[in-house]
Structure 1
């Protein structure tokens, strides 16, 4: 049918022209962006799949960074443990040296003083080592104040009067009056035995007799009457009556008087001789009942009359048990500049969760790095004393246990480090494979898109030419009117 109102041929040409124009726009968009899918209309399913892959790729990247942070954290802790291991090795070497009977008490005291510095350095490393604000080597909780060892309270809780005041009419015996905490400074202990024979005795937790009057098994001439009057004539008697767990001493305790500061040179109730015992500077008046050479008895008398005794310790380096032995009554005064109410606050270690994987649609898979506390208390160093031969021999087992624990920690970190390295390698390979799959879905094929663009450009040019001819078709109707 010939019609001038509706040009079907031109309309068809216009429709094809619009389609070729849309195809040309699509081809140019893909070639300019490099992507086959630029919006959901290009490939709705492919876009969803590609988006999930992108989620996994970004997750793998974040997880890899977290794993590397975990490796850095463990390497920091392992490096610190290596330093602690070196200190423990030196401590064991000192214990072996102190266990030899060829050393004097002064030699052992010097060795013990070095060991105390080792213990303090172990604590400093354990408390100060951190990465990402994590303290993996610190204790898992705050150290609690120790107000009682066995049935023995701290001296300030055991006193019936204020510090620096005289507590009169006390009964002497063999049970500890109280213990003096580590860290106490300028400690002064004075007694007046009121003319009787009562003596100050100081012990460490492992049974080392540091200050007082001797107890020598099997030698009544060398054993002070304050012990024999209480029926203590053997080391087993000493352990049963005084150095037992109920009184707060170590379960492995054994009496050791090799470091005893007896001060037989002279007696001075207001001063005395000074020695370093178990790493502590101690000034001791001596036992007035044992001395003929009296410098000062407190009453300007040439001989002891009231039997004053005095002990001054500059700084207490380990808990000390105070007892006053004898069979009478005495007055006592205890004073100090500083006595810790409890251990100082310190960082604590907590578990550290490291994400191992977090794929789209899955929960985060985590691995927990557990704390590895390596402070002196956890490693069992706080009760070691090298001031006596017996203490040094017992210390070897404790130091071996501490070294074994450090080795266990380091092995744990080494195994986790290898696992994290393997996980990072696996995530890298996953990302490579995922990116390849995503590229096949998402990226434009330049060969195909270039061919498509050339095709639609030709179609568009041909369509324009044919559309011009189609627009001339209605003019044929004019010939019918002529």
Structure 2
């Protein structure tokens, strides 16, 4: 081997081996000091990943096992509450068997019913107050409870705590009463009453005017009859009698007024007066003295004459729509004779037709004083009688019953409408009407006065119970009440009598009056007869059996779930143990093997160090060679 000093290959080789031995010693020291075979990913990358995954699984399984324990506690709590509930139901059944015995008096059955009601209250209390960590277990609000019983998403156990629950209502035991008359009732919160002050012009009122109305207004006469006032094409008022049906809804505060015509317009333009037969006319001279032995005739030119002893006395014809026809001579001194006519006048047998709408009419009051023609108008009622309409100004009108008379001398015809009395008909605005109301019992809008069987009246008794439903509170008599309707439609006051909660039903009378302008209602409720009990249901024992069966079914369900949780817990324990064992084999250090490795590595390290020293000394031999020269 060449002897060199520039490169000490042996020393380099010894140094390399000493480093490796030192690293081996360091690895074993780290493993022995940490107890782990894998202290970093460089020790065993694959093993580290596998061990980490196993550690996660073990940790998840341990937590899932604790979850299962929590689930067990929850189910045991629910089962315990159901046990108590079942005991209450069984006690109610025993009491029902006792109370159904016909040998008991009403007082006895009320005492039995009082204990039944106490147990029913306890059932509701258990249902509402049986909770686990804030979760209601028996009222159905919990729904489907998912228990995480494994380390993976799908590892769930579902327990159904939903449904309608196990309260009195859910078990079909609402108003459970063992003695009384058969029948069922339902709650009553909407009543039909009367309404006042339904304002026609209010924005909360919808008025349905008759078809064709242009400027309608609601008015009434002195008798209280209601009309729709409108205007015709000439701007004159028209009146149509109407039927009406106002309704008010207390929920919305809105009113509706439906107006329906009950006949044609009250007044209309007068119809033409047809000719009518003249029986025996009354013939008068110019002094109104009767003329005997005469007759009434009419010439071709239309003039009327009274014919007596060959003399023709010109006359005017006076007549009305009925009654006697009168002919009055204008002059008894200058009669005409037959020679004065080309054709002899003929006997008059009918009055001439008259059209009041086309002819001029003079108007008079009951005293015969003329009325202004521009402020007066002749109208006719539906029954054919005549009316004088007088405009008194300011949009006000008076209507006088009138008699119509005509005067006709053959060339000039005049009509006179005269009031038959000073009494007149007038119309006044009707700003509001009264009608029906639909009353929804609501403390915000309705006040209730309650009169019991003893005649004692309690004021302002309406309130709300814990569930937000209305209730009549009568603290003085220690009872509460609501309204119900029986199957036959009859209405009752359902009272809860005293602390014993015995249900007594009283026949009901009531009045409900709504002020539509303020949407406030006063409801007066009266106990109108002896109180009765209603047996509900008709099959109390069978109903209780069904309730017990429902409770037992839920207890079975919870028991099965508890058994499953036991199995799950055991399986999780086994799985976690096995996974932890496998993880330990991969990750934990084997002290026996590691100590052996450390000892060997230390020996090699010491030997390498010694050899490194020897290799470094080998170059000194060159100095010996140089010294000899």
**Which range, TM-score by smaller chain?**
0.5 to 0.7
SS in 1 for 2:508: strand
Kindly indicate whether the alpha-carbon contact (under 8 Å) linking 2:89 and 2:544 is maintained by their aligned counterparts in 1. Answer: yes
Per-residue CA deviation, residues 381-438 of structure 1 (Å, 9 max, x unaligned), is xxxxx967x5586211111111011101111110001101110110100001001110
Alignment equivalent of 1:453, drawn from 598, 606, 614: 598
Are positions 1:280 and 2:281 aligned together?
Answer: no
- Counting only pairs closer than 5 Å after superposition, residues 311-322 of structure 1 correspond to structure 2 as 318=503, 320=505, 322=507
Are positions 1:333 and 2:558 aligned together?
Answer: no
Q: In 2, Cα distance between the equivalents of 1:317 and 1:452?
A: 90
Aligned position for 1:404: 549
In the superposition, relative to structure 1, how do residues 203 and 4 fare at CA in structure 2: closer, same or farther (>3 Å)?
Answer: closer
- Counting only pairs closer than 5 Å after superposition, residues 98-177 of structure 1 correspond to structure 2 as 98-140=99-141, 152-153=188-189, 157=440, 162-164=447-449
> Please, what TM-score do these two structures have when normalized by structure 1?
0.56
Q: Following TM superposition, by how much is the alpha carbon of 1:480 offset from its aligned partner in structure 2, in angstroms? A: 2.8
In the superposition, relative to structure 1, how do residues 38 and 152 fare at CA in structure 2: closer, same or farther (>3 Å)?
Answer: same
Kindly indicate whether the alpha-carbon contact (under 8 Å) linking 1:50 and 1:441 is maintained by their aligned counterparts in 2. Answer: yes
- Counting only pairs closer than 5 Å after superposition, residues 206-245 of structure 1 correspond to structure 2 as 243-244=486-487
SS in 1 for 2:539: helix
Which structure has more RCO (C-alpha within 8 Å, separation ≥ 6)? 1
Q: Following TM superposition, by how much is the alpha carbon of 1:6 offset from its aligned partner in structure 2, in angstroms? A: 1.2
Q: Following TM superposition, by how much is the alpha carbon of 1:479 offset from its aligned partner in structure 2, in angstroms? A: 3.0
Q: In 1, Cα distance between the equivalents of 2:624 and 2:525?
A: 137
Aligned position for 2:58: 57
Kindly indicate whether the alpha-carbon contact (under 8 Å) linking 2:497 and 2:504 is maintained by their aligned counterparts in 1. Answer: no
Q: Following TM superposition, by how much is the alpha carbon of 1:150 offset from its aligned partner in structure 2, in angstroms? A: 5.0
In the superposition, relative to structure 1, how do residues 246 and 452 fare at CA in structure 2: closer, same or farther (>3 Å)?
Answer: farther
Kindly indicate whether the alpha-carbon contact (under 8 Å) linking 2:470 and 2:482 is maintained by their aligned counterparts in 1. Answer: no
- Counting only pairs closer than 5 Å after superposition, residues 252-267 of structure 1 correspond to structure 2 as none
Are positions 1:478 and 2:479 aligned together?
Answer: no
SS in 1 for 2:525: strand
> Please, what TM-score do these two structures have when normalized by structure 2?
0.43
- Equivalent pairs counted in the alignment come to 304
Q: Following TM superposition, by how much is the alpha carbon of 1:478 offset from its aligned partner in structure 2, in angstroms? A: 2.0
Q: Following TM superposition, by how much is the alpha carbon of 1:7 offset from its aligned partner in structure 2, in angstroms? A: 0.6
Kindly indicate whether the alpha-carbon contact (under 8 Å) linking 2:51 and 2:586 is maintained by their aligned counterparts in 1. Answer: yes
Q: Following TM superposition, by how much is the alpha carbon of 1:70 offset from its aligned partner in structure 2, in angstroms? A: 0.8
Per-residue CA deviation, residues 58-83 of structure 1 (Å, 9 max, x unaligned), is 10011111111111011111101111
In the superposition, relative to structure 1, how do residues 387 and 404 fare at CA in structure 2: closer, same or farther (>3 Å)?
Answer: farther
Kindly indicate whether the alpha-carbon contact (under 8 Å) linking 2:509 and 2:526 is maintained by their aligned counterparts in 1. Answer: no
SS in 2 for 1:163: strand
Per-residue CA deviation, residues 96-145 of structure 1 (Å, 9 max, x unaligned), is 0111111111100111111111111111111111111111112438999x
- Counting only pairs closer than 5 Å after superposition, residues 264-413 of structure 1 correspond to structure 2 as 280=497, 318=503, 320=505, 322-324=507-509, 333-334=524-525, 391=536, 394-413=539-558
Aligned position for 1:444: 589
Kindly indicate whether the alpha-carbon contact (under 8 Å) linking 2:17 and 2:608 is maintained by their aligned counterparts in 1. Answer: yes
Q: Which runs of 5+ in 1 are unaligned?
A: 167-179, 190-201, 206-241, 250-276, 282-313, 326-330, 337-385
Aligned position for 2:474: 186
Q: Following TM superposition, by how much is the alpha carbon of 1:165 offset from its aligned partner in structure 2, in angstroms? A: 8.0
SS in 2 for 1:162: strand
Per-residue CA deviation, residues 140-190 of structure 1 (Å, 9 max, x unaligned), is 38999x9xx758326784699731289xxxxxxxxxxxxx9896431899x
Aligned position for 2:569: 424
Aligned position for 2:76: 75
Q: Which runs of 5+ in 2 are unaligned?
A: 142-163, 175-184, 192-438, 452-464, 511-521
Q: In 1, Cα distance between the equivalents of 2:554 and 2:95?
A: 24
Per-residue CA deviation, residues 309-361 of structure 1 (Å, 9 max, x unaligned), is xxxxx896558464349xxxxx993389xxxxxxxxxxxxxxxxxxxxxxxxx
Kindly indicate whether the alpha-carbon contact (under 8 Å) linking 2:68 and 2:565 is maintained by their aligned counterparts in 1. Answer: yes
Kindly indicate whether the alpha-carbon contact (under 8 Å) linking 1:35 and 1:444 is maintained by their aligned counterparts in 2. Answer: yes
Q: In 1, Cα distance between the equivalents of 2:84 and 2:582?
A: 48
Please identify which structure carries the higher strand content: 2
Are positions 1:21 and 2:22 aligned together?
Answer: yes
Per-residue CA deviation, residues 291-313 of structure 1 (Å, 9 max, x unaligned), is xxxxxxxxxxxxxxxxxxxxxxx
Q: In 2, Cα distance between the equivalents of 1:161 and 1:404?
A: 44
What's the C-alpha RMSD, in Å, of the aligned pairs? Answer: 3.9
Q: In 2, Cα distance between the equivalents of 1:55 and 1:435?
A: 10
Q: In 1, Cα distance between the equivalents of 2:601 and 2:525?
A: 105
Q: In 2, Cα distance between the equivalents of 1:317 and 1:453?
A: 90
Kindly indicate whether the alpha-carbon contact (under 8 Å) linking 1:151 and 1:248 is maintained by their aligned counterparts in 2. Answer: no
